[in-house]
Structure 1
Amino acid sequence: MIKKAETNILKVVEQKVMDSFVHLHNHPEISWEETETTKYIKEILVNSGCKVIEFDDCTGIVGEYGNFNNNLPIVGIRADMDALWQEVNGVFQPNHSCGHDAHMAVVLGVLWRLKETPELAKRVAIKFIFQPAEEKGSGALKMVEKNIIENVDYLYGIHLRPVQETKPGRATPVIIHGATKMYNVEIIGDDAHGARPHLNHNSIEIAAQIVNMISQIHLDPRIPHSVKMTKLHAGGKNTNIIPGNALFSLDLRAQNNELMDKLEIKVNDIFQSMRNLYDLDIKITNIDGIVAAVTNDEAINIMRKSIIETLGEEKLDIPLVTPGGDDFHFYTVKKPDLKATMLGLGCNLKPGLHHPKMKFEEKYLIDGVNILFKALLNTYKV
C-alpha cells in the first residue's frame, strides 16, 4: 500500500515532469543544435546536486548523482534530446514528433524521485546521460568517443511506443530495434536538349530503374527487411532540359546486423550495374546508420521485474520486436559487457512516431518515471 507521504512525493514529481515536458515540447531543437536544451537540462542537474560533465565541441550533457567513491556499480539512464526537422502545417520547423521531449522529462523525473529519497544518495551511482543527435544516428557514438559509458555497468533507456505496438498503461522490458542505413547518392551525368534524348542518359529514368531493381531484392523472408527510395531531386526550372544529374536517398532496414550486411551488398551491386550499363558515375556521398539491438538478459529481467512491481503483471508486454531503429544500441555494440535495455512505454501514441501531428496521453509519463526508478532500486537491490 502506498503511504500518504509517498503519494505526495509522486504528485510533486509528476507536476515537475509535466512542466518540464511542456517546456521541452515548446522549445524543440534539431540534431547537434540542442544548445538551449542543454542549458535547460544543466540548470536542473546542478540544482539537483549533480556533478555535471559538459562538452566543448558538441551539445549534450551528463549529470552524476550519488556515491562514485564506494565501488558501487554505475548505472546510466539515457534520454535523447533532438527534435526532427519536419513540415508541420506547411512550414518546416523543429518538431518533437519522436517523443524525445517526453524521454528527457521522464529521466529528469527519475532524478527528482531520487532527490525526494535522500537516503539513497549513498547507495547509488547514477549517470544521467542527455544525448544529442539520436535522429542523425551519431549522438551515441559521440558519447562513446567522450568515454561517457567507459565505467558504466548498466544502461537503461526509454522510448514511447505507438498504440499499434504497446497499448496505453502497458510496458515492454526491451525494444528490439532493427538496423538502419541511410544512403545519400548522386547520379553524375550531362544535361541534354529535350529534343535530343540520344545525347545523354536521363537521370530520372536511371533513378526509376534503381527503384524497380531494389524492389526486386529478395533475402530471407523470415527476417523483416526493406529498402526504398525516400528522396529524389532532378532537373530545374526548364522543362525542355533532360537532366543528367540527380540526387536521391535510400532507407535500408533489417531486423539484424547480419542481414543488413547482405542488403547493403545487393544495393551496391545495383549501383555498379547501373554504372556499367550507362557508363556514368553513381557516387555515394554519405552513409549514416544505426545497428540492430544487442540484448542482455540480466538488464531485461530487471526491467521486467520493475514493470510488474509498478504496473502489475497484467500490464507487462512481451519483448517488442520493431523495424524502427535507435542509436542507443551503439552503446552495447561498442561496449559488449554493458548490461543494457530500453523500456517501451505505452501511452496511446497516435497516429505514429514521426507523424508531424503525433500525440500521446501525457498522464502515462509518470509510469515511465516510476518504472525506471524501480529499475534503479532493483539494480542496487535496495
Structure 2
Amino acid sequence: MTEKLFEDLQAIYPEMVEFRREMHMNPELSFQEVHTPKKIANYLRDLGLEVRTEVGGRGVVGKLQGEKPGKTIAFRADFDALPIQDQKNVDYKSTVDGAMHACGHDIHTASLLGAAKVLSQHKDKISGSIVFIHQFAEEQIPGGAISMIEDGCLDGVDEIYGAHVWTSIPLGTIGIIGDYAMAAGDQFDIEIIGKGGHGAKPHVTVDSIYIASQVLNQLHQIVGRQVDPLKTGVITVGKINGGQAFNIIAENTNMSGTVRTFDAEVRDTIEEKIKQVTTAVCEGLGGTANISYTRGYPALYNHPEPLKNVDDLAQNVVGKPHVKYLLPSPGMEDFAYYVKEVPGAFFFIGGANEEINAVYPNHHPKFDVDERCMLNAAKMFISLALQEKQGADDER
C-alpha cells in the first residue's frame, strides 16, 4: 500500500511545486499571516477534512478520520517567512520587499499538504486519525506553538512528528538526531548606566562603553570556566549600542545577546551567572545595570520510540546509506513545545544541490533547496502515518 501512495504522491508533485512557489513568491511574516492560512484551510477543506481555523491565533488544523480504530498521529508544518530580502535569481523569487521564505517553511507546508491529499484518498485503509497542524509564527518568540497547544491542537493526539529541510545535507538524505536535537534559545538585554561627560575628562565620568567591554569579556568566560566541560552552552553578544559623538563619554550603553543550551541545569547556571557577572563588573567600575533575561524555546527532545519509527522508515524511503546521524543543532525550534506535551520526533530532510545553487544555509538571503526534497518529506509523513496505524513492518 505504501508504494501505491508513493506513486500517487509522485503524480501530484507538480501541484506541490506550484503551491510551494506561490507561497515563496508571497511570503508573510510571523503574526502577519493572512492569505497563507486561508489558502491552506481551503486546500484541506477541498480534501474533505475536518478543518479548524484561527487556532491559537492564525493556525490551521485539519483532521483525517480513518475508518478503523487506532492511534491519533499528528504532523506539524510551519508557514511564516523571515524579514530578509530575497537575493536569488529565480522565477519564483519573493515579490514582497524585505520578506522571504529563507528557512523552508514553504517546503514544509507543501510537503504536508501533499501527504494529506494522498492519505485522504485512501482513508478507507487508515486506522485511527491523522491531524495536520499548520503553525504560524515559528520564527518569532513567543512562537505560535504555545497558543495552538493551548487552543487544543494536540487534544487526543498520541504522537507527533515534524520535519525541517536542511541544506547542510544533500538531496536524497534524511538526518536524524537522538535525544536533544535542537537547543533552548534565550535572549538577554543589558542596559549599563554610567556617568556621561567630556571625552577629555574621563576621571570625572563613569564610562559605560568601557564597562560594556569588560562585561563582554567576562560573559565569554562563563561557559569556559563555570560550566561543566562535559556539557555545552553558547553565549553570544550580538548587539552593542552606545555613544553619540567622538568626544563624549556615553552615560548609557545597551547590549543584547543570545544563550543556547541543551541541559536544563546549564541553562539555569548561565542565566544566573550572566546576572551575577554583569552586576559585579558594573558595580566594580562605578556603574549600574538593568538586566532582562527572557527564556525562549526549550530544547527539543526526540523521544526514543517515535525516533526509532523515523529511523526505520527513513531507511525505506531513502535507503540506509542515505540516513545521516547528525550532531545536535544549536539552533532552536518551537516544535519543542509539542514534544513536551506528547511523545514525538523531529527529523531533517536533505535539500542541498550544488547544480542549482541550493547550497546556502537557512536564513541566508540566497537560501533555496531542491524542490524534490518535498517528495522525501511527504513520503516520511505517509510512511509514519501508515506505520503507526497498520504496523508496516510486514510491508517492509
Question: How many Å apart are 1:129 and its aligned residue?
Answer: 0.9
Distance 1:113 1:320 in 2: 33
Give the number of equivalent residue pairs: 372
**1:48 matched residue in structure 2:** 47
Q: CA deviation at 1:270?
A: 1.5
User: Residues 200 and 140 (structure 1 numbering): CA distance in 2 closer, same or farther, change over 3 Å?
Assistant: farther
1:101 matched residue in structure 2:
106
Q: Is the 8 A contact 2:10 2:375 kept in 1?
A: no
- List aligned pairs for 1:1-382, cutoff 5 A: 9-55=8-54, 58-67=57-66, 72-87=70-85, 93-120=98-125, 123-138=127-142, 139-163=144-168, 166-174=169-177, 176-217=181-222, 218=224, 219-236=227-244, 238-285=245-292, 287-318=294-325, 320-333=327-340, 335=341, 338-348=342-352, 350-381=359-390
Alpha-carbon shift at residue 21 of structure 1 (Å): 1.0
Letter in 2 for 1:233: N
SS class of match (2:138):
coil
Structure 1 residues 188-197 or 226-235, which shifts more?
Answer: 188-197
Indicate if the aligned counterparts of 2:211 and 2:282 stay in contact, CA closer than 8 A: no
In the superposition, relative to structure 1, how do residues 282 and 45 fare at CA in structure 2: closer, same or farther (>3 Å)?
farther
Other structure's SS at 1:290 match: coil
After TM superposition, the score normalised by the length of structure 2 is: 0.85
User: What letter matches 1:11 in structure 2?
Assistant: Q
Residues 87 and 272 (structure 1 numbering): CA distance in 2 closer, same or farther, change over 3 Å? Answer: farther
C-alpha change, 1:132 and 1:200, in structure 2 (3 Å) is farther
Alignment check: 8 A CA contact 2:195 2:251 kept: yes
Which ranges in structure 2 are unaligned for 5 or more consecutive residues?
A: 88-95, 353-357, 392-396
| Paired residue secondary structure (1:362) | coil
More displaced stretch, 166-175 vs 143-152: 166-175
Q: Whole-Å Cα distance in 2 between the matches of residues 118 and 150 of structure 1?
A: 21
TM-score, with normalisation over the residues of structure 1? 0.88
Q: Match for 1:94: what amino acid?
A: A
Q: CA RMSD in A?
A: 2.6
CA contact under 8 A between 1:79 and 1:100: conserved in structure 2? Answer: yes
Q: Provide closer, same or farther for how the CA distance between residues 341 and 51 of structure 1 changes in structure 2, counting only shifts above 3 A.
A: same
Structure 2 letter corresponding to 1:315 = H
Maintained 8 Å contact 1:74/1:152? yes
Aligned to 1:252, the other structure's residue is in SS state strand
Q: CA deviation at 1:6?
A: 5.6
The Cα offsets for residues 223-275 of structure 1, whole Å up to 9 and x where unpaired, read as 33210111122234x44432222332111112322322222222121222134
Q: Quick one: distance in 1 between partners of 2:52 and 2:192?
A: 44
Cα deviation, residue 353, structure 1:
1.6
Q: Contact 1:173–1:341 at 8 Å: present in 2 too? A: no
- Asked whether the equivalents of residues 56 and 149 of structure 2 are also in contact (C-alpha less than 8 Å), the reply is no
- Taking only the aligned residue pairs, the percentage that are identical comes to 27
| 2:92 matched residue in structure 1 | none
Which amino acid is 1:102 matched to? I
Aligned partner of 2:90 in structure 1 is none
Kindly state the Cα deviation for residue 133 of structure 1 after the two structures are TM-superposed. 1.8
Moved more, 247-256 or 189-198: 189-198
Question: CA distance change for structure 1 residues 220 and 296 in 2, over 3 Å: closer, same or farther?
Answer: same
CA contact (8 A) 2:55 2:148 kept: no
- For the 8 Å contact 2:76–2:134, the answer to whether it is kept is yes
| Contact 2:59–2:134 under 8 Å retained in 1 | yes
In the alignment, is the contact (CA less than 8 A) between 1:21 and 1:105 conserved in 2? yes
Q: Taking structure 1 as reference, are residues 366 and 131 closer, same or farther at Cα in structure 2, changes over 3 Å only?
A: same
Unpaired runs of at least 5, structure 1: none
Tell me by how many angstroms 1:92 deviates: 7.3
